[in-house]
C-alpha cells in the first residue's frame, strides 16, 4: 500500500476508489493479522460503508477532505461512538461509548476511514503491549519480538502495512518507543496540541495523542488533521498552529542541535548509540550545528514519572467500579462489588500502578513522593529551557534497545520501565518529540532516533525528522 | 444517654458551620447538561456528569461568577485558585473523585455579620461539584437495611459553593441566625435559591464544647443531615449536651462524623472508626488555573445589591433603633419602604411598628411610601386610632387606595371624647359588679372595659383615651 | 524519603483502591513496589524545598465554557451499557453507609 498522502490525492481526484483502498487494507489485514494481532476489533463492514460514502461524495463532485479514503487505525483507548472501546482491559470489555473522541470526529471529517481499534498495554500501562487482556501484539519485523508499547497495536498496524496511518497515545513514550521498535515514524506533540477529549485517561498531565505513519510527511499530515484547539479539553492550546506538512522541505541548515549527554550513554545499547551518532552526523551534513549538551535533570525523569503517572492513574481509574458501565462482579454490598469487579477486571500491571500511585498520594507520603516528583518536573523543564537557549532541537535515542523478545521482561517491572528512560522527559516537560527510523541494530531490527523540541517547536522538529528520514541508512 | 435537661452551665459550645449551596446556573459546573434535578432520573446527563471514560471537565463561567458574588458578599478575598481531586469511592460520585478546591480556594478570609452585630469569620468559600442521588430500596428506605440502591446522576456535577465558617458561633440560636443570614445573602445576590428543605442549602456542623474560660478547643464532631433551621437548633443542643455528659462523666469525645436523626432527636455515629479516609487530594490535571482579573472582580463587586447587614444598618440609623430591631423588616424586604416613609416625614417608631407587625403580608413591599407616610401622619395626628390605622393599612396593601379615602369610606374618624364618655358610662351602669371590683383594685378588669368599648365602637375608639376615661371615673 | 514500603502499607493502599490481593500477591507486589520506590530514592537526595511543583506542563489559565445547555445523552443508550439498571437508574448492591 502506498502512503497516505498519495492515497488521499488519488481518491480526491477520482483516480482511485476509496473502496478499493479499504479492500486492499482489509486484504493485508486478513493475511497477517493472525500472526500479529494488531487489532482488538477490525471494522470491515463499517469501513467498507464509509469508503462507499466517500466514493459517492467524490462522484458528486465534493471534496471529502485531506485524508479522503485513507484507512486509519485508532488505539483502543480513543472513544468511538457505538464501537467497542476497551483499553485492552477486561473491565471495559464490550463497552461502547455514547460519543466520539474529538480526534475521531476530525478524522471522519477529513475523510479518513476507520478500519479498526488497535491493541495496547492495558490502559496504556506498559512498553511491550504484553499487558493486554486480549493477548500480546507481535512485532511485524520479527514476530518473536515485542512491538513496544503501549501503542504497540497501532505501530504494528502501520509497520505491517495494514493501515498507512494510526493514532496512538503517548504518556511516557508510548508512541515513540513502539514506532522505534517497529521501524515507523511516531510523534508526541506538545501537551495540549491534540485534544484529549475522548482519550481514556492514563495520566492526564502527560497523555497526548499523536500520529504513527510510514513517513514523516504522513505523520505531519495526520497531525495537521487531528491537532488544533478544542473547547472540550481545558488543557488544549488555544493558539492555532501552522501546517506541518508544509514545512518538511525546509531542511535544517543553520539549526543548532544538541545531543543529550544523559540519554546517550549508560543503559543504551551500543548499536543504538552508534545509530544516534550517525543521525547527528547526518544533521550536521545537512547544515545543522550539532554539539553535545547536558540536560542534567533528565536523569531523574524515570523516578519522577513512575510517581506522577501512577498517582494520576490511581485517580483516573477509580471510576471503573462496576456501577455505570463495563464489567461488574456481583457481591453482597457495593464496596465489595467495587472490589470484586476491580480485582477481576484489572491486570497486574494496572493494579501495580494503581497501588503505587495510591501510595504516592496517601496521607503522610504525598510530600515525599508525589510532591517531590512534581518539583523534579520543574527541574526538568528548567534544564530543557536552559538547553533551548543554545539549541533549537535536541537529539537522543528513542529506545535504549531494539525490540526485545516476547516475555523477556514481563517478570521484572522495573527493567520494563527502563525502556522509557529516553522518552519520559518530553512528557514531563510537555514538549514535543518524534521518533524516526534510522537503520537497524546488530540484530537487524529497527532503531529509532528521537528529535526533541521546545513547546510548540513541532515545525523545526518535523524539518529535522524529514532530513533524518532522507539520510537514514 | 443525654437529655435536654443536661445543664450546660459552666460550659461553652463552639460551633463552626460548613454550608453547601447549589449555585443557580443553567448548566452543570463542568458540562452542559441542565442544572435541574428531582424529575425523571438520568435525563440531564452527559459524558462528564456520568464520569464516562475519556470525558473531560470544562469550567462554567457563570458558576465562577456566582462563586465570586458569594465571596465578595462575604467580604472574602478573591484569589487565584486551583481545582483538586478528592478521591473516595461512592456510587453517587461518577468518577469516584470529586472535583473541588483544596489548598487554593477561590474565596478566602471573609466574615458575615449577624443581626446581633456579631461577626462570624469565613475561612473560605470554594467551588465544587455535587454528587448524584442514591435511593435505597427495601428496609423502609433506610441505608443500612436496604436491599439495594438506585442511582440517579441528574444532580451529579451541579455547581456547589462550600462556605466554611470559622468556629466563632457560640450557641444554637447563633447558628440558626448565621444560616438565616447566609441564606438571605445568597438569595439577595442571586447565587442560590437557598432552600434548605429541598437540599439546595445543606449544613454540616462542627461542634465541640469546652469549660468556660478555656482557650483551647475541645474535640469536635461533625454533624450531618441537618435539613432545617429547626433541626439545626435541636441537633446542636443535643450534641452539646451529649459531649458535656461524656466529659462530665470522665469520658472522652471521639472525633467522628455523626448523623442527626430527626425522628429520634439524637445524633449517632456514622461509621466504624477503623475505616480509613484518606482523600489523596492532588491538583486536578484536567483543569487549568482559575485567575479572575481585577476588572472582572471589580465588575462583580459593583453589581452586588445592598446586603442585609448594610440594609439593617441603614434603616436602623434612619429610625434611631438598633440594627437587630429591624432584622425582620429587612428580611421581608420592607426596609426601602420604611426609609422612604420616614423620609416623607412619618414617625419612625410608628413606621417600624407597622412594618414589623402589620405588614407581614405579600405585596407589602409594593406599598407606596408616600401613602404609608400619610397614613402614619393621620395616626399620629389623632385622625385615626392605632386599630383603625392597621385596618386602613391592610386595605392599602390590598387595593392600593390612599389612606384618606379608605378611612372616609369606612367612616373612620377619631371619636370625640363626649361620645366615648357616654358609652363608658353606659357600660359602668350595665356592669356594676365588674366596675366595683375594678375600683377595689382588680386591674384585670380594665381590659374588660376597654374590650367592651372597642366592641361597642367596632374598634374605632382610641385605646389610650378609653383608659384615661376609666381612670378619671375611678378617681372621680 | 520514608522507609521501605511494607506489606501492611500495600494492604492499606489495596483497600483504599478497592483491590483484593491474595497473600502471595501481597508478597509479590510489596517486593515490586519496593523496587520501584527504591529506584525513585534518587530524587529523595535532591534538596529542592524551594523549587515550586509543576502540575501542568503547559500552563494555561481561565478556560471556560458558557452556561449554555447541551442536550442530555440518551438515557436508554447509557443504561443499556449499565451492568444493572432499574426504573431509569443504575442499580447497585446495598451501599452500607453514607458517603464520607
Ligand atoms: Mg467540607
Ligand atoms: Zn464539600
The domain made up of A249-299+375-471 has a fold known as Amidase signature (AS) enzymes (3.90.1300)
Residue C23 belongs to some domain of the structure? yes
The percent of residues in chain A predicted with pLDDT above 70, rounded, is 100
In terms of DSSP bridges, do strands A393-397 and A256-260 run parallel, antiparallel, or are they unpaired? parallel
Q: What is the mean pLDDT of residues A446-468?
A: 98
Which of B58, B89, B152 has its CB closest to that of C63?
B58
Q: Kindly state the DSSP code that residue C55 receives in the 8-state scheme.
A: S
Q: What is the mean pLDDT of residues B388-411?
A: 90
Residue B312 belongs to some domain of the structure? yes
Domain that residue C17 falls in: 7-44
Domain that residue B453 falls in: 417-475
Residue B406 belongs to some domain of the structure? no
Sorting pLDDT into bands at 50, 70 and 90, what band is A412?
confident
Q: Which helix (H) or strand (E) holds A187?
A: strand A185-188
What whole-number distance in Å separates Cα of residue A276 and Cα of residue A272?
Answer: 6
Residue C68 belongs to some domain of the structure? no
Q: Where are the domains of chain A?
A: 4-246, 249-299+375-471, 303-367
Residue C93 belongs to some domain of the structure? no
Q: Do A306 and C29 touch (CB under 8 A)?
A: no
Residue C79 belongs to some domain of the structure? no
- How crowded is the C-beta side of B372, counted as CA atoms within 13 Å? 29
Cell of B402: 390612599
Residue C20 belongs to some domain of the structure? yes
The answer to whether the CB of B93 falls within 8 A of the CB of B134 is no
Residue B391 belongs to some domain of the structure? no
Cell of B351: 413606621
Residue B66's contacts (CB-CB under 8 Å, 6 or more residues apart) are B23, B24, B25, B159, B161, B190, B191, B192
For residue A174, indicate whether it is catalytic. Answer: yes
What whole-number distance in Å separates Cα of residue A473 and Cα of residue A446?
Answer: 11
Is B66 in the same domain as B98? yes
Is B292 in the same domain as B315? no
**A400 lies within 8 A of chain B by CB:** no
Sign of the dihedral defined by the CA atoms of residues B299, B305, B311, B314, in that order:
positive
Q: Do B53 and A97 touch (CB under 8 A)?
A: yes
Chains A & B: contacts with CB separation below 8 Å:
99
A119 pLDDT above the threshold of 90? yes
Residue A392's contacts (CB-CB under 8 Å, 6 or more residues apart) are A255, A256, A257, A453, A457, A460
Is B358 in the same domain as B284? no
* ipTM reported for the complex, 2 dp: 0.97
pLDDT at B221: 94
Q: How many helices (H) and strands (E) does chain A have?
A: 15, 11
Identical fold between A4-246 and A249-299+375-471: yes
A222 pLDDT above the threshold of 50? yes
What whole-number distance in Å separates Cα of residue B399 and Cα of residue A68?
Answer: 74
Is B165 in the same domain as B231? yes
Catalytic residue among A19, A25, A75, A117: A75
Q: Do A455 and C58 touch (CB under 8 A)?
A: yes
Any bridge partners for residue B13, and if so which? B209
Residue C63 belongs to some domain of the structure? no
| Ligand 2 center from residue B128 Cα (angstroms) | 7
Q: What is the mean pLDDT of residues C22-28?
A: 97
Is B91 in the same domain as B148? yes
B255 pLDDT above the threshold of 80? yes
Cell of A340: 470484586
For domain A4-246, give the CATH number: 3.90.1300.10
Q: What is the mean pLDDT of residues B295-323?
A: 96
Question: Which residue, B302, B317, B333, sits at the end of a domain?
Answer: B302
| Ligand 1 center from residue A321 Cα (angstroms) | 24
Residue C30 belongs to some domain of the structure? yes
Sorting pLDDT into bands at 50, 70 and 90, what band is A1?
low
Q: What is the least distance, in Å, from the CA of A85 to any CA of chain B?
A: 9
Q: What is the mean pLDDT of residues A287-298?
A: 97
Q: What is the least distance, in Å, from the CA of A439 to any CA of chain C?
A: 32
**B55 lies within 8 A of chain A by CB:** yes
Q: B30-86, pLDDT tens digit by residue?
A: 999 999 988 899 999 999 999 999 999 999 999 999 999 999 999 999 999 999 999
Entry pTM: 0.92
Amino acid at each position: 500500500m502506498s502512503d497516505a498522502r498519495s492515497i488521499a490525492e488519488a481518491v480526491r481526484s477520482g483516480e482511485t476508489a476509496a473502496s478499493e483502498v479499504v479492500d486492499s487494507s482489509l486484504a493485508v489485514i486478513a493475511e497477517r493479522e493472525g500472526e500479529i494481532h494488531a487489532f482488538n476489533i477490525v471494522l470491515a463492514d463499517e469501513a467498507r460503508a464509509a469508503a462507499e460514502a466517500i466514493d459517492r461524495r467524490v462522484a458528486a463532485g465534493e471534496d471529502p477532505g485531506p485524508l479522503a479514503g485513507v484507512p486509519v487505525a485508532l488505539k483502543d483507548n480513543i472513544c468511538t461512538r457505538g464501537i467497542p472501546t476497551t483499553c485492552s482491559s477486561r473491565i471495559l470489555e464490550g463497552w461502547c461509548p455514547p460519543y466520539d473522541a474529538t480526534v475521531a470526529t476530525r478524522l471522519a471529517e477529513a475523510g479518513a476511514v476507520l478500519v479498526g481499534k488497535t491493541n495496547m498495554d492495558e490502559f496504556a500501562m506498559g512498553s511491550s503491549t504484553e499487558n493486554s487482556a486480549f493477548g500480546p501484539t507481535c512485532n511485524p519485523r520479527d514476530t518473536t519480538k515485542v512491538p513496544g508499547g503501549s501503542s504497540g497495536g497501532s505501530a504494528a498496524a502501520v509497520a505491517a502495512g495494514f493501515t498507512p496511518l494510526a493514532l496512538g497515545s503517548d504518556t511516557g513514550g508510548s508512541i515513540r518507543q513502539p514506532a522505534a521498535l517497529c521501524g515507523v515514524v511516531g510523534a508526541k506533540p506538545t501537551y495540549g496540541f491534540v485534544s484529549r477529549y475522548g482519550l481514556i485517561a492514563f495520566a492526564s498531565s502527560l497523555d497526548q495523542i499523536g500520529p504513527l505513519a510510514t513517513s514523516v510527511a504522513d505523520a505531519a499530515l495526520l497531525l495537521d488533521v487531528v491537532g488544533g484547539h478544542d473547547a472540550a479539553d481545558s488543557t488544549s492550546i488555544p493558539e492555532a498552529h501552522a501546517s506541518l506538512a508544509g514545512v518538511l522541505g525546509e531542511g535544517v541548515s543553520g539549526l543548532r542541535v544538541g545531543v543529550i549527554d544523559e540519554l546517550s550513554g549508560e543503559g543504551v545499547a551500543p548499536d543504538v548509540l552508534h545509530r544516534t551518532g550517525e543521525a547527528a552526523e547526518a544533521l550536521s551534513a545537512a547544515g545543522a550545528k550539532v554539539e553535545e549538551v547536558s540536560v542534567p535533570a533528565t536523569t531523574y525523569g524515570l523516578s519522577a514519572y513512575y510517581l506522577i503517572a501512577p498517582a494520576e492513574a490511581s485517580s483516573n481509574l477509580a471510576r471503573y467500579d462496576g456501577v455505570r458501565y463495563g464489567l461488574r462482579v456481583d457481591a453482597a454490598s457495593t464496596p465489595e462489588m467495587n472490589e470484586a469487579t476491580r480485582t477481576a477486571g484489572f491486570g497486574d500491571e494496572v493494579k501495580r500502578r494503581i497501588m503505587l500511585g495510591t501510595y504516592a498520594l496517601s496521607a503522610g507520603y504525598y510530600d515525599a513522593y508525589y510532591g517531590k516528583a512534581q518539583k523534579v518536573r520543574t527541574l526538568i523543564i528548567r534544564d530543557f529551557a536552559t538547553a533551548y537557549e543554545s539549541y533549537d532541537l535536541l537529539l537522543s535515542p528513542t529506545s535504549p534497545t531494539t525490540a526485545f523478545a516476547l516475555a523477556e521482561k514481563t517478570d521484572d517491572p522495573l527493567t520494563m520501565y527502563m525502556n522509557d528512560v529516553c522518552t519520559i522527559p518530553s512528557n514531563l516537560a510537555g514538549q514535543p518529540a518524534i521518533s524516526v527510523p534510522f537503520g537497524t541494530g546488530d540484530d537487524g531490527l529497527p532503531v529509532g532516533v528521537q528529535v526533541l523540541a521546545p513547546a510548540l517547536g513541532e515545525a523545526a522538529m518535523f524539518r529535522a525528522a524529514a532530513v533524518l528520514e532522507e539520510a537514514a541508512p | 444517654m443525654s437529655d435536654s435537661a443536661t445543664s450546660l452551665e459552666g460550659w461553652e459550645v463552639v460551633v463552626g458551620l460548613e454550608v453547601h449551596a447549589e449555585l443557580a446556573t443553567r448548566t452543570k459546573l463542568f458540562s452542559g447538561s441542565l442544572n435541574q434535578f428531582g424529575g425523571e432520573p438520568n435525563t440531564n446527563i452527559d459524558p462528564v456528569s456520568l464520569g464516562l471514560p475519556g470525558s473531560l471537565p470544562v469550567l462554567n463561567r457563570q458558576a465562577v461568577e456566582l462563586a465570586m458574588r458569594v465571596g465578595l458578599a462575604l467580604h472574602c478575598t478573591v484569589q487565584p485558585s486551583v481545582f483538586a481531586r478528592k478521591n473516595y469511592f461512592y456510587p453517587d460520585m461518577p468518577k469516584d473523585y470529586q472535583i473541588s478546591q483544596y489548598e487554593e480556594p477561590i474565596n478566602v478570609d471573609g466574615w458575615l455579620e449577624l443581626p446581633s452585630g456579631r461577626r462570624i469569620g469565613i475561612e473560605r468559600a470554594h467551588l465544587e461539584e455535587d454528587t448524584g442521588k442514591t435511593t435505597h430500596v427495601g428496609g423502609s428506605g433506610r441505608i443500612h437495611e436496604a436491599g439495594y440502591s438506585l442511582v440517579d446522576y441528574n444532580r451529579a456535577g451541579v455547581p456547589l459553593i462550600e462556605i466554611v465558617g470559622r468556629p466563632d458561633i457560640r450557641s444554637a440560636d447563633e447558628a440558626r441566625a448565621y444560616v438565616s443570614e447566609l441564606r438571605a445573602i445568597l438569595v439577595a445576590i442571586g447565587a442560590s435559591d437557598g432552600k434548605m428543605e429541598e437540599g439546595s442549602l445543606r449544613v454540616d456542623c462542627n461542634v465541640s464544647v469546652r469549660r468556660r474560660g478555656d482557650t483551647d478547643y475541645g474535640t469536635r464532631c461533625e454533624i450531618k443531615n441537618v435539613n432545617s433551621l429547626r433541626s439545626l437548633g435541636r441537633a446542636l443542643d443535643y450534641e452539646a449536651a451529649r459531649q458535656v455528659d461524656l466529659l462530665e462523666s470522665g469520658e472522652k469525645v471521639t472525633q467522628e462524623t455523626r448523623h442527626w436523626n430527626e425522628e429520634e432527636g439524637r445524633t449517632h455515629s456514622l461509621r466504624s472508626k477503623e475505616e480509613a479516609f484518606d482523600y489523596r487530594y492532588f491538583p486536578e490535571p484536567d483543569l487549568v488555573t482559575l485567575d479572575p482579573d481585577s476588572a472582572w472582580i471589580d465588575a462583580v463587586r459593583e453589581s452586588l445589591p445592598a446586603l442585609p447587614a448594610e440594609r439593617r444598618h441603614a434603616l436602623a440609623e434612619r429610625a434611631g433603633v438598633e440594627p437587630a430591631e429591624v432584622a425582620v423588616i429587612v428580611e421581608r424586604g420592607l426596609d426601602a419602604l420604611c426609609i422612604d416613609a420616614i423620609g416623607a416625614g412619618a414617625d419612625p417608631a410608628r413606621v417600624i411598628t407597622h412594618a414589623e407587625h402589620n405588614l407581614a403580608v405579600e405585596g407589602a413591599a409594593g406599598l407606596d411610601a408616600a401613602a404609608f407616610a400619610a397614613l402614619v401622619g393621620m395616626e399620629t395626628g389623632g385622625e385615626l386610632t392605632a386599630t383603625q390605622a392597621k385596618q386602613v393599612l391592610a386595605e392599602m396593601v390590598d387595593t392600593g387606595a390612599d389612606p384618606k379615602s379608605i378611612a372616609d369610606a369606612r367612616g373612620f374618624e377619631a371619636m370625640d371624647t363626649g361620645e366615648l364618655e357616654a358609652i363608658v358610662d353606659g357600660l359602668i351602669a350595665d356592669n356594676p359588679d365588674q366596675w366595683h371590683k375594678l375600683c377595689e383594685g382588680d386591674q384585670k378588669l380594665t381590659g374588660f372595659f376597654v374590650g367592651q368599648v372597642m366592641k361597642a365602637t367596632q374598634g374605632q375608639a382610641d385605646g389610650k383615651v378609653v383608659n384615661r376615661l376609666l381612670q378619671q371615673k375611678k378617681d372621680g | 524519603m520514608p522507609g521501605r514500603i511494607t506489606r501492611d502499607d500495600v494492604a492499606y493502599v489495596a483497600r483504599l483502591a478497592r483491590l483484593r490481593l491474595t497473600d502471595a500477591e501481597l508478597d509479590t507486589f510489596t517486593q515490586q513496589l519496593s523496587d520501584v520506590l527504591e529506584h525513585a530514592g534518587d530524587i529523595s537526595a535532591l534538596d529542592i524545598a524551594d523549587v515550586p511543583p509543576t502540575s501542568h506542563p503547559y500552563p494555561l489559565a481561565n478556560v471556560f465554557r458558557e452556561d449554555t445547555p447541551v442536550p442530555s445523552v440518551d438515557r436508554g443508550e447509557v443504561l443499556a451499557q449499565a451492568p444493572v439498571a432499574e426504573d431509569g437508574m443504575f442499580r447497585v448492591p446495598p451501599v452500607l453507609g453514607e458517603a464520607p
